[in-house]
Amino acid sequence: MTLGSHQQTVGRSQVHITPKWIIDRLGPFDTDPCAADPRPWDCAAVNITEKDNGLIRPWRGRVWLNPPFGRYEVAHWISRLAEHGHGTALLHARTETDWFEPCWQRAFGILFMADRIYFYRPDGSRQPANSGAPPVLVAFGEQDLARLHGSGIDGILVTQWMKIGALTPEPADLFGR
């Protein structure tokens, strides 16, 4: 669990199927390197499952990326999409983490979604609890930014940011010294 959350963001299952309405608004996509098997709907024309290892397979065209949420896995997937440069990722808004750094460095836009979303199970039923963390959609490439912009998905779309340096926090002065 994370601070401010009553639900686990890294749970027992790594199967968190993207809501179809998101794919309908942002698609079509050419490749989904993290496709569930089985799945109630396809997120892309080519769906690469875990047994096919989407990290080592070729990615073509627009990529849809809803990576495994394991904290030690997500960095590999985000780095690969940043290198590919053409696709959209659905992530938790963990903007302070090392794995989010490629988003700051290479993304064209980040949509901070207004509400937490509900993922789906392989049988098409909705998960009983929401995602447990604020979601973001991260666009790599101009076409994906245009799709985010025109999607009508409720949230704040950020397209410009600037890194201004590292801040070293000072220890709290609890006694006014």
ω into residue 122 within 30 of 0, thus cis? no
Find where tokens 């080519």 sit.
Answer: 46
Q: pLDDT value at position 13?
A: 55
Q: pLDDT value at position 167?
A: 64
Q: For the chain, what are the domain ranges?
A: 20-158
Q: pLDDT value at position 163?
A: 81
Beta-strand relationship, 46-49 and 31-35: parallel
pLDDT in tens, the chain (177 residues): 333 333 444 445 568 899 999 999 999 999 999 999 999 999 999 999 999 999 999 999 999 999 997 767 899 999 999 999 999 999 999 999 999 999 999 999 999 999 999 999 999 999 998 888 899 999 999 999 999 999 999 999 999 998 887 666 666 555 555
Residues 6+ apart with CB under 8 A from 39: 17, 47, 122
Q: pLDDT value at position 6?
A: 37
